[in-house]
C-alpha cells in the first residue's frame, strides 16, 4: 500500500532535488572554473560563483581554433563511422543469439561472456593489431581496437530482442515466406529502436571520450587524432611552457591559464555529448531498462 501523504511527497521531492543537484553541480563547477582567472584558482581554488571572471583560458584556446576544429571533425568522422559499424556488428551478433533454435547458442553465449571477464592483455593486443592487421597510423587504429564490438552491448541487445519481440510475429513472417534477413530488417529492427538508440549513444560516448587508441596506434600521422588527443597535446604544451617560464624570475607563470584551461578543455570536449544526449534520452532509458532487467 502506497502512503499518499504530504510528508511522503515532500520527502520524495527533496530526495529528487538532491539527486539533481548532485548531477548539476559538477557541470556548473566545471563551467565556473573555466571562466575563473588563474590567480584566483591558485589562491582560492574552485568556487561555484567566480570572484574574478576571466576568459583567458578560452582566449588561449582560440589561438588554436584551426587545430581544434580539425580535431573536432576527425572525432565526428571516427564516432559516426564507429557507431555505424558497431550497430551493424552488434545487431548481426545479437539477433542470431536471440533465436532459441540456433545450434550452439549456449556455447557461443558463454564464449561471449568470457570475453567480458578476460582478455589477452595490452601488449599482445597491440602486437595483433599492429603486426597482423597493420592498423598502425591508419584511421582503423582509431576505430577498431577495444571499441568496435562490446560484449555487454551484444548481450543487452539479445536480451531486448528475446523479451520484447514475440516469437509468434517472427513465425508468422516465416510462414509468409520471409527469410531471416527479411525478418531482421522488416520486423526486428523497427521494433528495436529503443535498444538501437541505447547502443548508439553508449558507443558514441565511448568513441568520443577515447584517447588511448590515439596514443597506442597513432604515432606518426597525428592529423588522425581526435579532439581528446589534441586537447591533451595542448595541455601538455601549456604545462611545459609554464615550467619553462617558471625558471625565469622575470616571468609570471600565472599568465598562462593552466588550471583554468583544464576546465575549458573539458567544457569543449563535453559539449557534443550534451548536445546528442537529448535526442537519445527516451530510447536510452527505455532500451537500457528493458534490455538489462528482463530475460
CATH of the domain at 204: 1.10.3720.10
Residue at 31 is within a domain: no
CA 25 to the chain's CA centroid: 21
What dihedral do alpha carbons 254, 255, 258, 262 form, nearest 10°?
A: 120
The tens digit of pLDDT for each residue in 109-146 reads: 888 888 888 888 888 899 999 999 999 999 999 999 98
Residue at 205 is within a domain: yes
Residue at 220 is within a domain: yes
Q: Give residue 285's domain range.
A: 57-293
Number of domains in the chain: 1
Residue 253 pLDDT exceeds 70:
no
Residue at 17 is within a domain: no
Q: How far is CA 122 from CA 143, 146, 205, in A?
A: 16, 10, 22
Res. 1 pLDDT band, cuts 50 70 90: very low
Residue at 180 is within a domain: yes
First to last CA, the chain: 28
**Full-model pTM:** 0.81
Residue 101 pLDDT exceeds 50:
yes
Residue at 48 is within a domain: no
Residue at 63 is within a domain: yes
Residue at 11 is within a domain: no
Amino acid at each position: 500500500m502506497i502512503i499518499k501523504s504530504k510528508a511522503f511527497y515532500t520527502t520524495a521531492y527533496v530526495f529528487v532535488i538532491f539527486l539533481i543537484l548532485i548531477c548539476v553541480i559538477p557541470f556548473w563547477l566545471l563551467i565556473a572554473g573555466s571562466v575563473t582567472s588563474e590567480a584566483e584558482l591558485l589562491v582560492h581554488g574552485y568556487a561555484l560563483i567566480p570572484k574574478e571572471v576571466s576568459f583567458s583560458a578560452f582566449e588561449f584556446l582560440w589561438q588554436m581554433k584551426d587545430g581544434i576544429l580539425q580535431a573536432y571533425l576527425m572525432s565526428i568522422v571516427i564516432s559516426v563511422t564507429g557507431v555505424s559499424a558497431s550497430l551493424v556488428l552488434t545487431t548481426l551478433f545479437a539477433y542470431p543469439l536471440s533465436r532459441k533454435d540456433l545450434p550452439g547458442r549456449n556455447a557461443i553465449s558463454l564464449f561471449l561472456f568470457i570475453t567480458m571477464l578476460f582478455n589477452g592483455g595490452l601488449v599482445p593486443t597491440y602486437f595483433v593489431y599492429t603486426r597482423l592487421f597493420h592498423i598502425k597510423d591508419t584511421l582503423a587504429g582509431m576505430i577498431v581496437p577495444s571499441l568496435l564490438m562490446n560484449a555487454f552491448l551484444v548481450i543487452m541487445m539479445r536480451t531486448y530482442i528475446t523479451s520484447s519481440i514475440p516469437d509468434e510475429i517472427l513465425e508468422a513472417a516465416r510462414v509468409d515466406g520471409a527469410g531471416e534477413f527479411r525478418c531482421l530488417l522488416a520486423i526486428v529492427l523497427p521494433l528495436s529502436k529503443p535498444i538501437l538508440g541505447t547502443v548508439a549513444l553508449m558507443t558514441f560516448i565511448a568513441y568520443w571520450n577515447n584517447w588511448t587508441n590515439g596514443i597506442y596506434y597513432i604515432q606518426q600521422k597525428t592529423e588522425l587524432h581526435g579532439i581528446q588527443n589534441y586537447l591533451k597535446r595542448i595541455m601538455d604544451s601549456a604545462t611545459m611552457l609554464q615550467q619553462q617560464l617558471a625558471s625565469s624570475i622575470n616571468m609570471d607563470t600565472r599568465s598562462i591559464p593552466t588550471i583554468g584551461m583544464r576546465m575549458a578543455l573539458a567544457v569543449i570536449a563535453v559539449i557534443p555529448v550534451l548536445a546528442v544526449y537529448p535526442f537519445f534520452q527516451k530510447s536510452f532509458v527505455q532500451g537500457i531498462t528493458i534490455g538489462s532487467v528482463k530475460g
